A and B are shown apart, each in its own frame.
Chain A
Amino acid sequence: MKTKMMFAASLLAATVLSGAASAKTFVYCSEGSPEGFDPGLYTAGTTFDAAAHTVYNRLLEFKPGTTETVPGLAESWEISDDGLQYTFKLRPGVKFQTTDFFTPTRDLNADDVIFSFERQWKSDHPWHQYVAGAAWEYFNGMGFPDLIDKIEKVDDMTVRFTLKRQEAPFLANLAMPFSSIVSKEYADKLEADGQQQQLNQQPLGTGPFEFVAYQTDAVIRYRAHEDYWNGKQKIDDLVFAITPDASVRFQKLKAGECHLMPYPNAADVEQMRSDPNLKVMEQEGLNVAYLAYNTTQAPFDKPEVRKALNMAINKQAIVDAVFQGMATPAKNPIPPTMWSYNDSVQDDPYDPEAAKKMLEEAGVSNLSMKVWAMPVSRPYMLNARRAAELIQSDFQKIGVNVEIVSYEWAEYLERSKAKDRDGAVILGWTGDNGDPDNFLHTLLGCDAVGGNNRAQWCNEEFNNLVEQAKQASDQAERTKLYEEAQVVFKREAPWATLDHSLSIVPMRKEVEGFVQSPLGDFAFEGVDIVE
């Protein structure tokens, strides 16, 4: 029995790794189950990895490894002088996947693009409520209903979007998973057959991999798309083996049951690095954790008080204690992998003595405050309670008394928005579209006070810069404006920027061509297994 089992296990490892004799199979030990396969309906990264980055393409794509956009299904585009009209020329000859469940008869055209957006946009569209309670959360969350005036078919291969106002991040939004282009021909067939639900269960697109099967909570299978416009993939089959526990993912990776895994335990990373069969990639994630003061309340309305407190926080200690090194201290509100990150900004030095003096000069003594600690672990802050305790002891050293408060997560999010909130809040953000606007305007703009702007901070100078950048369409000009905004941010210190967590990706040595995405996606276009 023993030898038989050993044989079975080694056979299994050998088969998975060699890719079942002739076919090359790439196995990804994913961390969770997709909510469904229509990227427009959902917001979770796990769902986007399984649906958007495999089966579908978008008009624009993020250039691998960056937050820059490059042509995808749109070969080129023109923006009108007033910045309101975007005209996209579609790539000719793009084939949809031919699968067991559908055989397309035509290539991609303008109808598919219009269908993909209108179904999310128009409440009377036959596909708007094809699943009960469809909320099209990202389409709404990115403000598309208020932004888009009309979408027109100019000709078969040309689509024009007219906006109601200038909005530079619009292009980046078109590269987001919710903007995936769905086959209208396939949808029409499903509608005619009364099988609309299938669109969310058997997706069909133009992407590098075609959907084969999903065994709920266990395995998702894909095959390389034979006629993919960007060239057929080097691997033949792609398999997502759903493995929720990080320690178990690591064991599977070691045993050769998968080639690549996301989100390792910090404690395992050293062992991964020293394993001769594995290699490890790392990069700052598209996120930031912060401590937001309530800048409308005394004495936190004074920048010098906020700055003094910031100087009292030992960020490195937080990074070491909470992340075991799997994060870097943050100085700007946007992560270093994002374009326009201003590396010339000097962080407030950790200097309790100077901080104490600054507080005295500001006339603040015997200060007591609340620090809010999130009750949940998020990618940007694994343990807010621990971070809050460290901040508490840091502040103690400069004579500031801290009471740590916490609420249940939904309650925490709700209460921390209040303009008259008492105390500073630990929270963070994971970027959606790689555009600095998605951090600087969304989290710190005047519009967001009482909402995402937990510092309740409305600074005219800063706000003007980010508003201007939102309307400028030239990236160089936008970069300059955002760089300047970061300088103002540091001077005014509405937050203590705490950390950017590192995204660490362990994989087998033989994996080649995987590019880590600053957006945190796991996309397998271009990967190969080289023995």
Chain B
Amino acid sequence: MFRFLLRRLAVLIPTFIGVSIIAFAFIRVLPGDPVALMAGERVMSPERHAELMRELGFDRPIWTQYLDYLGGILTGDFGNSIVTRRPVLDEFLTLFPATMELSLCAIILSVVIGVPLGIVAAVRRGSWLDQSVMGFALVGYSMPIFWWALLLIILFSGILQWTPVSGRISLMYFFPPVTGFMLIDSLLSGQEGAFRSAVSHLVLPTIVLATIPLAVIARQTRSAMLEVLGEDYVRTARAKGLPPRRVVGLHALRNALIPVVTTIGLQVGVLLAGAILTETIFSWPGIGKWMVDSVFKRDYAVVQGGLLLIAGIIMLVNLIVDVLYGLINPRIRH
């Protein structure tokens, strides 16, 4: 197991360097520099433009800039945002818990609902239940997030008034962040009703963000189950008279879970991408919107630093999935 882990870690290093190069190059390939965009319609003299580019260090050879950036990262310095002038890492750490909280809730929701739905659909293959679950999954998968979110807001917040429209907690609650996770902070604050408010604010964005992963997980569980249900050992289990629940729950599910775990791991990347739209609509102060805005403003430091941090997290999640995978399926380790 240890050697397996070591091997996995060794692969991460070149991947990390590769990502750092892509992140660094990507934003610079886009036409337009941050100084020109800052000026907008207000024309800036070429001298002033050059002066500002120099102050920001963008006049140096590209490889010097890259090495500086790499060197900074190794010492934990991701540079300062060109727009807010604040350290990129600070901004990331302030915003990331919000994205993390929402993503965790969404992934939990999609697993808790998606896996059982997939199992039921597989066991009752061809029935109306299967048809409707797969139908819903297809709809969910194809749902335009923006439209879906607005629809939910108009229905549940506007017409029915069950949930607040947007934000993380009601404005009447105000306490300094401790962990950055609103559910935890609201409990720690000891303010009455704060936790309930935080939960009610989470409901709609969680549903929206979970929609696509839920559909994917349900479909994946169904097809993995179908495959396993046709295996010899399942037939054997049935033949020796085990109750159907044990056959499905123990013998089939454990083996079917292997590809499902991979899918769940891959959905983390999808969630971070989905977070961009979900966060924008629900005024959720996370990293999704932060990244998009910085691309538009050509905030080099934020884009290259943010991409790297996000990539690092996805790599970490994949590593965890790989390890889990190895635990579930000992064959992988060898």
Task: Answer whether residue B82 sits at the interface, using C-beta atoms and an 8 A cutoff.
Answer: yes
Contact: B174 with A221, CB < 8 Å?
yes
A36 to B83, CA, bound (A): 9
- Residues of chain B within 8 A (CB-CB) of A244 are 280, 283, 289
Interchain CB contact under 8 A, A242 and B283: yes
Known A-B contacts A137-B38, A217-B290, A417-B43; the reply to A243 vs B82 at CB < 8 A is no
Q: Which residues of B contact A13 (CB under 8 A)?
A: 161
Task: Check B85–A131 contact: CB distance below 8 A.
Answer: yes
Query: B85: which of A41, A414, A430 is its contact (CB, 8 Å)?
Result: A41
Contacts of A363 in B (CB 8 A): none
User: What are 8 contact pairs spanning A and B, CB under 8 A?
Assistant: A5-B200, A8-B193, A141-B39, A215-B177, A257-B167, A411-B32, A413-B40, A428-B41
Q: Which of B41, B48, B153, B177 contacts A251 (CB 8 A)?
A: B153
Q: Whole-angstrom distance between the alpha carbons of A242 and B281 in the complex?
A: 11
> Given known contacts A248-B150, A248-B282, A411-B31, what 11 new A-B pairs fall within 8 Å (CB)?
A16-B170, A216-B94, A244-B280, A244-B289, A247-B150, A248-B153, A248-B166, A410-B32, A413-B39, A451-B45, A452-B43
Q: How does the 8 Å CB contact mask read for B173-199 relative to A, with 1 for contact and 0 for none? A: 010110000000000000001001100
Q: Is A154 an interface residue (CB 8 A)?
A: no
Q: Mark B38-62, 1 if CB is under 8 A from A, else 0.
A: 1111111100100010011000000
Smallest distance from the beta carbon of A252 to chain B beta carbons, Å? 5
Q: Which residues of A contact B74 (CB under 8 A)?
A: none
- Pairwise interchain contact A243-B42, C-beta atoms closer than 8 A: no
Instruction: Specify the main secondary structure of chain B where it touches its partner.
Output: loop
Closest 4 CB pairs of A and B: A410-B32, A217-B285, A131-B85, A451-B43
- Let me know if B168 is at the binding interface, CB within 8 A: yes
A427 interfacial contact with B, CB 8 Å: yes
Q: Is A213 an interface residue (CB 8 A)?
A: yes
How far, in angstroms, from A428 to B80 measured CA to CA in the complex? 32
A135 is an interface residue with CB less than 8 A from chain B = yes
Are A9 and B289 within 8 A (Cβ)? no
A41 surroundings in chain B (CB, below 8 A): 85
Which partner residue on chain B sits nearest A140 by CB separation? B48
Given the complex, which residues of A lie within 8 Å of B67, measured CB to CB?
A: none
Query: A505–B197 Cα gap in the complex (Å)?
Result: 29
A525 CA / B33 CA spacing, docked (Å) = 37
Kindly state the interface size class of chain A when it binds its partner. 35 or more
Q: Is the CB of B290 within 8 A of A9?
A: no
B91 interface residue (CB < 8 Å to A):
yes
Do B83 and A410 touch across chains, with their CB atoms under 8 A apart? no
Hey, which chain A residues are within 8 Å of B33, CB to CB?
Answer: 410
Bound complex: CA A10 to CA B170 (Å): 12
Residues of B within 8 A of A241 (CB): 167, 171, 283
| Chain B residues numbered 250-293 whose CB sits less than 8 Å from any CB in chain A | 280-283, 285-286, 289-290
| Complex Cα gap A8–B163 (Å) | 8
The reply to whether the CB of A281 lies closer than 8 angstroms to some CB of chain B is: no
Q: How far is the CA of A202 from the CA of B52 in the complex (A)?
A: 26
Nearest-neighbor residue (CB-CB) of A212 within chain B: B174
Taking each of A4, A248, A407, A451, which has the highest tally of chain B beta carbons within 10 Å of its own beta carbon?
A248
Q: Decide: A218 and B283 in contact? CB cutoff 8 A.
A: yes
| Complex interface: chain B residues within 8 A of A27 (CB) | 171
Residues of A within 8 A of B (CB): 2, 4-6, 8-13, 15-16, 20, 25, 27, 35-36, 41, 43, 131-135, 137, 140-141, 200, 213, 215-219, 221, 239, 241-245, 247-248, 251-252, 254-255, 257, 378, 407-411, 413-414, 417, 427-430, 448, 451-452
Q: Give Cα A131–Cα B87 distance, bound, in whole angstroms.
A: 11
CA distance A408 to B197 in the complex (A): 43
Kindly state whether residue B207 has any CB partner on chain A within 8 Å. no
Most buried by B among A218, A244, A257: A218
Which of A15, A35, A243, A254 has a CB less than 8 Å from the CB of B170?
A: A15
In whole Å, how far is A210's beta carbon from the nearest beta carbon of chain B? 15
Partner of B162, one of A6, A216, A219: A6
Interface residue ranges of B17-43 to A (CB < 8 Å)? 30-33, 36-43
- B95 contacts the other chain (CB 8 A): yes
Chain A CB within 8 A of B164 CB: yes
Which residue of B52, B91, B158, B168 is within 8 Å of A218 (Cβ)? B168
A254 contacts across to B, CB distance below 8 A: 158
Q: How far is the CB of B303 from chain A (nearest CB, A)?
A: 15
Residue of A nearest to B80 (CB): A132
What residues of A have a CB within 8 angstroms of the CB of B193 in the complex?
Answer: 8, 11
Known: A245-B283, A408-B32, A409-B32. A135 touches B55 (CB 8 A): yes
B75 part of interface (Cβ distance < 8 Å): no
**Complex interface: chain B residues within 8 A of A2 (CB):** 162
A125, chain B: closest CB distance, angstroms = 15
Are the CB atoms of A215 and B285 closer together than 8 Å? yes
Known pairs A218-B283, A248-B282, A411-B31; A25 contacts B171 (CB<8 A): yes
**When chains A and B are docked, how far (Å) is the Cα of A132 from the Cα of B150?**
40
Contact status of A16 and B285, CB under 8 A, knowing A10-B161, A411-B31: no
- Cβ of B157 within 8 Å of any chain A Cβ, yes or no, is yes
Task: Indicate if B224 sits at the interface (CB-CB under 8 A).
Answer: no
Closest CB in chain A relative to B17 CB, distance in Å: 26
* Residues on B with beta carbons closer than 8 Å to the beta carbon of A452: 41-43
* B38-A15 in contact (CB<8A): no
Q: How near does chain B come to A201, taking the closest CB pair, in angstroms?
A: 8
Chain A residue at smallest Cβ distance from B42: A141
Q: A16 to chain B: which residues have CB within 8 Å?
A: 170-172
Partner of B281, one of A5, A20, A245, A451: A245
Q: Contacts of A216 on B, CB cut-off 8 Å?
A: 91, 94-95, 285
Which residues of chain A have C-beta atoms less than 8 A from B200's C-beta? Answer: 5, 8-9
Q: Indicate if the CB atoms of A248 and B165 lie closer than 8 Å.
A: yes
Contact B285 A239 (CB under 8 A): no
CA gap between A216 and B180 in the complex, in Å: 11
CA distance A492 to B290 in the complex (A): 46
> Is residue B154 contacting chain A, with contact meaning CB distance below 8 A?
yes
The answer to whether A8 touches B85, judged by C-beta atoms less than 8 angstroms apart, is: no
- Chain B residues 83-117 with CB under 8 Å of chain A are 83-86, 91, 94-95
B171–A133 CB distance below 8 A: no
| CB of A299, distance to nearest CB on chain B (Å) | 27
Return chain A residues, CB-CB under 8 Å to B164: 9, 12, 255, 257
Output the nearest chain A residue to B45 by Cβ-Cβ distance: A451
Give complex CA distance A327, B171 in Å. 34
Point out the residue from B36, B43, B166, B174 that lies within 8 Å of A243, measured CB to CB. Answer: B166
Are A243 and B94 in touch, CB under 8 angstroms?
no
Flag if A218 contacts B282 (CB, 8 Å): no
B157 to chain A, nearest CB (A): 6
**B197–A252 CB distance below 8 A:** no
**What residues of B have a CB within 8 angstroms of the CB of A410 in the complex?**
31-33, 36-37, 298
In angstroms, how far is the closest chain B Cβ from the Cβ of A455? 14
Contacts of B196 in A (CB 8 A): 4, 8
Are A35 and B174 closer than 8 Å at their CB atoms?
no
The residue in chain A whose Cβ has the minimal distance to the Cβ of B281 is: A245
Residue of A nearest to B91 (CB): A216
Cβ distance B193 to chain A, nearest Cβ, rounded Å: 8
- Report B52 CB to chain A, min CB distance, Å: 5
Known contacts being A15-B172, A16-B171, A410-B36, is A35 close to B282, with CB within 8 Å? no
Contact of A245 among B52, B163, B280 (CB under 8 A): B280
| Chain B residues within an 8 Å CB radius of A428 | 41
Q: Closest approach, in angstroms, between the C-beta of B90 and any C-beta of chain A?
A: 9
